[in-house]
Chains A and B, each alone.
Chain A
Amino acid sequence: MRRYFSRKLLIYGLTFFVAVTVNWMIPRFMPGDPVASMVARANVNKPEAVEAMRAYYTGLFGLDQPLWQQYANFWGALLRGDFGVSIWLFPTPVSEVITRAVPYTLALIVPSVLLSWVVGNRFGAYAARRRLLDNTVLPVGYVLTAMPYMWLAVLLAWAFGVILGWFPVAGGYSFSMRPNWSVTFLLDLLHHWALPFLSLFLVALGGWAIGMRNMIIYELESDYSNYLAALGAPSRLIRRYAFRNAVLPQITGLALQLGVLVAGALVTEIVFAYPGLGSLILKAIQNKDFFLLQGTFLFIVLGVLIANFIIDIVYVVVDPRTRAGMAGAQA
C-alpha cells in the first residue's frame, strides 16, 4: 500500500514540477511586453516620464533580471506562498484576486462534475437494454456530449435569459444586492448559479450516460451474468453486479475527463459573465499578466492533481482487486 502511494506521489510531484515550469514559460514566450502595454495604458506623453515609469515597473516585477534568475525567484516566491502582484489589476496581489474568484469556480465545477457523473451513471445503467429509453436517451446523450460547452451555454442564456427572462445573464448575484446571509441573497446566488451549472451538467451528463449504457450492456453479456441468469437470479440482482463492474472504468474516465471539465467550466463562466477564474484567465492572457496567469494555472493544476489523487484513493476502496494486487506486489 505504501509503495503504491509513494509511487503515485512521486508521479504527481513530477507532474506538478513540469506543469508549473511550463506554466512559467508559456506567458514569457508569448509576443509582447507586459510593462510596455501597462505604460502605454497610462497615456503619459512625455518620453522621459515614460522611461521613468518603464524602468520602475520593470524593476518592480523583476523582469530586468536574466531568465534563469526569474525562474529561481518564481520557485522561491511560490514556496513562500507569494504569487506576486497582478499586472492587469495592478496593484492587487494575485492571491487576493484568485481567492475572490475561486469560490465561484468551485461552486460550479464540483457539483456539476459529481452530479453529472452520478446521475449520468444511474441513468445510463437504467436505460441500457430498455428499448424505449435506449432509443430516446442514446441520441439525446450523443447530442449533448458532442455539444461544445459554450455553445450550449449561449443557447441557454439566450433562451432562458434573454427570451424568457427567467434567469439572469450575468453576474454571480444580483447587481442590486450586497452579500449577506439572508435567504433572499442565497436564493439569488442560486438563481445566478443555475444556468451556468446546467450547461456544464447537461454536457457532461450525456457523456457519462452513454459510457455507462455501453458498459452495462457489455457486462450483461459477460459470462458471470449469463451464469447468474442460468441459476435463476433475478435480473435486478444481475444488473446490480453489472453496475458495480461497469462503474470502475467510469471512475478512471472521471480522472481523465477532469481537465476537460475544468476547461469547459472556464469557457462557460465567460459566457455567463460568472465571476470565477474563467474570465480572469482570458483577461490575464490578453493583458500578458504573467503573474495572474501563473497563479490561476497553478491553482487549476493543483486542483486537478488533487482530484486525481482522491480518485486514486477511491479506486483502491471500491475495487478489491487493486488492494489484492498491491498485497501481491508486497508479498
Chain B
Amino acid sequence: MRNRARIMIPLVAAGLLAAACSGGGATPTPPASQSQSQGAPAGANPDQLPRNETLYTTGTQWGPPPNFNPIREWDSAVGTKGLVYETLFHYDPNAAKLNGWLAESGSWTGDTTYEVKLRQGVKWSDGRPFTAKDVVFSFELGKMETIPYHHLWDWLKAVEAADDQTVTFTFAKANYQQWDFNLYTRSIVPEHIWKDRPEKEVLDGINENPVGTGAYTFLSKDQDRVVLQRRDDWWGKTALNMEPKPRYIVDIATPSNEVAMGMLLQKGLDLSNNFLPGVANLVKGNFGLTTFYNEPPFMLSANTAWLVPNTTKKPMDDPAFRKALASSVDVKKIVEGVYGNLVKAASPTGLLPQWDAYVDQGVVSSSGFAFDPAKAKKLLADAGYKDGDGDGYVENKDGSKIGLTLIVPSGWTDWMESARSISASAKAAGIQITPEFPDFNALVEQRAKGDFDLLINNERQLSNSPYTYYEYMFQLPVQKQQNTVNFARYQNEQAWALVQDLDQIKTDDAEGMKKVISQLQQIHLDDMPVIPLWYNGLWAQSSTSVWKNWPAAAGGAPKTGAVMWRNWLELGGFETLTQLQPAAS
C-alpha cells in the first residue's frame, strides 16, 4: 500500500504538470509545417486543422452523428444535405425566388408538366458524371412507402429523362406551391451507388461513405463532431462562380447551450446556432461577437411560436373564447422580460416578416387583435362567460369552473417563463391558466392524442410559401393522432379547401396567392384556431476572430442567414459560407 502510493503521487504530479504546460488556449495555432499547400486536395489530410482555414460551428447536433443518409432529412449528420448532397434548386427568402443549383433552370412547359434543365459538367465525388438519370432515380425513391416524400406520388405521375440534361415531371395534379418546396428540399443521390439498395437500406441505412455532388466531403467523425473537407473540384466554382471559403468545417455537438457560450467566449467557435439568452449584452460589449441586427431583435426570424388551444374541448371550442384569450396575452412582456428582446412580437396573422407582402393589412386592421385586457373581459362577458362565484375567474356558460392547463416541455426555460407570463396576464382578464411542464416525450404524446388544453408550438419553419404555414393550421382530416400539424384539431372544410386552392396557384402569380391568403387570414382572425405569439429567431452568434463578413442588416454585408441547421443550407446557409472572409486579411 505504502509503496504503491509512493509511486502514484509523482505520477499524478507529472500528469497535472504536463497538462498545465500544454495549456494556453483551446485552439492551439498549428506549427507552420502543418499548413497545407494550396493545390493538393487529395493530400490535404492533416491531423491538425489549420485554424485560419477552419470554420467551427455548433447548435444543430446534440450527440454523436447518427447517419449520413440524405433521405433522413431530420437526423442525418450536419451538412449531409447542403454540403455533401445537393438539391435541384436553392431558395432565396429575401428575393422570394428559386435559384438554380444542380438544375440550371426549370419551367412549366404545360399546366401539368415541369421541365428541368440540368447543369453540365457536374461530377459525383467518386468522379462519375451526374446525369438526368440520377434525378429520376432520386424522385422515384419516393415510390417506397416509408420514404418521407412518398406523398409526392399522390399527384406526381411520372419522371422521365428526356436526355442526359433534361428531366420532365408529369403531374396528375399540379400542386405548384408544394412542388417548389420539393424542388429545393429533396436531395439528389447517385443512381449508380443507390440503385440496388432495398427500402430498408434507403430509409434506415447509415450510408457510411456518402458520395454526393456537393462542395464538401466528410473527412472524419467522432462522438462529438463531424469534420468536412472542401472539394477543390466542386462544379460550382465555375458554374456558379462561388466558393465556400473554409477549407474545413468542424461541426461540434455541444451537450448544452452553456458549453456553446463558453466556447464562443474562448474563440473556439465561429458560429453558434444555439439560443443563448443574454447574448444581447455580449453583442453590445466588446466580445467580438456579431448577430444579424446589432439592436433588437438581433436575429432574423425562423418560425412563429403559437399558443395552440385544443378546439375539441370546452371552452376552447368557442371562437369567442379563443379571441378573448388572444387579447389577454401580453406578448410584449414576454418579448422584453423573457427574451430580452431577442425575438419579435408576431403580427396577428403570424406570417413571418419574410412573408410580409402576403399580409392583407385591411383584414388585419378590421379583425386583428392586440393585448387588451379590457377588451378580453368584454369579449368574455359578451359571449356569456361570467364570474358568478367571485373568485376572479370566469366560469363556463353552464356555471362550471374553467381551469385550463398550458403545457410546455420541461427544461425549455424560455418557454416555461413565457407560459408563466401567459398565465399571469390571462388572470388579469379572468381566465384561469395553470402552466405545467411535462417531459418533452410526454408532451409529444399528449399533443398527438389531443390530451391537453393549451400548448405552445413552433414546428413550422420559414419556407417558399405561406402554403406550408396554412397547411399547418388547417389540414384536414383530423386523425386520432395528430403528429405534425393542426394540433388544435380545428375543423373547417372551407379553410382547408382554400389551402388546397392556394396550392394550385402558380408561384409567380403573387396577386392570385394574395387573394386566397387574404381569405385564409380572415378565417384565421375570425376563428383563431391558433394564436400567434412571437417570431422565434434564426439563432446565430458569430465570432469575428477568425472569419469576418458575417451576414448583417447594416451596410454591404450579406443578407443570407448564417445557419447550419438541417434544411437551412438551401435557404441561404450555404451562400453565407461563400461570402466569408478570413479575419486576418
Contacts and interface: CB of A to CB of B under 8 A. Distances in A.
A47 interface: yes
B64 A97 contact: yes
B266 A168 contact: yes
A176 B63 CA distance: 18
A46 B151 contact: yes
Contacts of B259: 169-170, 272-273
B67 A92 contact: yes
Given A122-B5, A165-B25, A166-B23, A41 B75 contact: yes
Contact of A49 (B51, B62, B151, B220): B151
Contacts of A185: 47
Interface in A47-103: 47-50, 52-53, 56, 60, 86, 88-92, 97, 100-101
Nearest to B459: A43
Interface in B224-270: 224-225, 227, 250, 252, 254-256, 259, 262-263, 265-266, 268
A9 to B, nearest CB: 27
Interface in A145-171: 157-158, 161-162, 165-171
Interface in B71-113: 72-75
Residue among B22, B48, B438 facing the most chain A CB atoms (10 A cut-off): B22
A309 to B, nearest CB: 20
B459 A273 contact: no
Contacts of B262: 157-158, 161-162, 169-170
B442 A187 contact: no
Contacts of A187: 18-19, 22
A84 to B, nearest CB: 14
A169 B22 contact: no
B216 to A, nearest CB: 16
A177 B47 contact: yes
Contacts of A49: 145-146, 148, 150-151
Interface in A168-189: 168-172, 174-180, 182, 184-185, 187-188
Contact of A166 (B2, B20, B222): B20
Interface in B1-20: 1-2, 4-5, 8-9, 12, 15-16, 18-20
Interface stretch (A130-138, A215-223, A275-283, A294-302): A275-283
B268 A43 contact: no
Contacts of B66: 86, 88-92
Nearest to A42: B74
A330 interface: no
Interface stretch (A14-22, A27-35, A227-235): A27-35
A47 B445 contact: no
A170 B1 contact: no
Contacts of A100: 64, 222-223
B254 A52 contact: no
Contacts of A157: 262
A213 interface: no
Contacts of A162: 262, 265-266
Contact of A176 (B8, B48, B256, B484): B48
Contacts of A11: none
B440 interface: yes
Given A91-B67, A170-B254, A44 B18 contact: no
A247 interface: yes
A34 B64 contact: no
Given A273-B224, A275-B223, A177 B48 contact: yes
A50 B483 contact: yes
A194 B20 contact: yes
Nearest to B4: A118
Interface in B340-355: none
Contacts of A182: 47
B472 to A, nearest CB: 8
A268 interface: no
Interface in B28-56: 28, 30, 46-51, 54, 56
Interface string B411-453: 0000000000000000000000000001111111100100000
B5 A119 contact: yes
A272 B16 CA distance: 17
Contact of B255 (A37, A43, A244, A282): A282
Nearest to B252: A175
Contact of B30 (A53, A118, A122, A176): A176
A172 B15 contact: no
Contacts of A263: none
B556 interface: no
A179 B227 CA distance: 12
A225 interface: no
Nearest to A168: B26
A278 to B, nearest CB: 9
A258 interface: no
B19 A43 contact: no
Given A31-B445, A170-B262, A273 B19 contact: no
A98 B64 CA distance: 11
A40 B74 CA distance: 10
A175 B441 contact: no
Contacts of B18: 187, 190
Nearest to A188: B22
B205 interface: yes
B206 interface: yes
A155 to B, nearest CB: 13
Nearest to A167: B23
A265 interface: no
Given A43-B74, A169-B259, A286-B440, A175 B483 contact: no
A174 B204 contact: no
B448 A36 contact: yes
Given A44-B148, A45-B471, A31 B438 contact: yes
B127 interface: no
B15 A118 contact: no
Given A36-B483, A282-B255, A31 B206 contact: no
Interface string B380-403: 000000000000000000000000
B27 A270 contact: no
B150 A171 contact: no
B285 interface: no
Interface string B455-467: 0000100000000
B24 interface: yes
Contact of A31 (B12, B203, B439): B439
B54 A176 contact: yes
A184 B48 contact: yes
A171 B15 CA distance: 19
Interface string B181-212: 00000000000000000000001111000000
Interface of A: 30-34, 36-37, 39-50, 52-53, 56, 60, 86, 88-92, 97, 100-101, 104, 114-115, 118-119, 121-122, 157-158, 161-162, 165-172, 174-180, 182, 184-185, 187-188, 190-191, 193-194, 198, 240, 243-244, 247, 270, 272-273, 275, 279-280, 282-283, 286-288, 318
Given A42-B72, A86-B66, A191-B23, 12 more contacts: A43-B459, A45-B475, A47-B483, A92-B66, A92-B67, A100-B222, A101-B223, A119-B9, A172-B224, A179-B47, A194-B15, A275-B224
**Can you list the 7 inter-chain pairs with the closest CB atoms, starting with the nearest?**
A32-B441, A31-B442, A194-B19, A275-B223, A168-B26, A89-B66, A46-B151
30 contacts: A31-B445, A32-B441, A32-B442, A32-B444, A33-B441, A33-B445, A34-B441, A42-B72, A43-B73, A44-B484, A45-B151, A49-B148, A49-B151, A86-B66, A90-B67, A91-B205, A100-B223, A101-B223, A162-B265, A165-B266, A167-B19, A170-B268, A175-B56, A175-B252, A178-B49, A187-B19, A244-B1, A247-B1, A275-B223, A279-B63
Interface of B: 1-2, 4-5, 8-9, 12, 15-16, 18-20, 22-28, 30, 46-51, 54, 56, 62-64, 66-67, 72-75, 145-146, 148, 150-151, 154, 203-206, 219-220, 222-225, 227, 250, 252, 254-256, 259, 262-263, 265-266, 268, 438-445, 448, 459, 471, 475, 477, 479, 481, 483-485
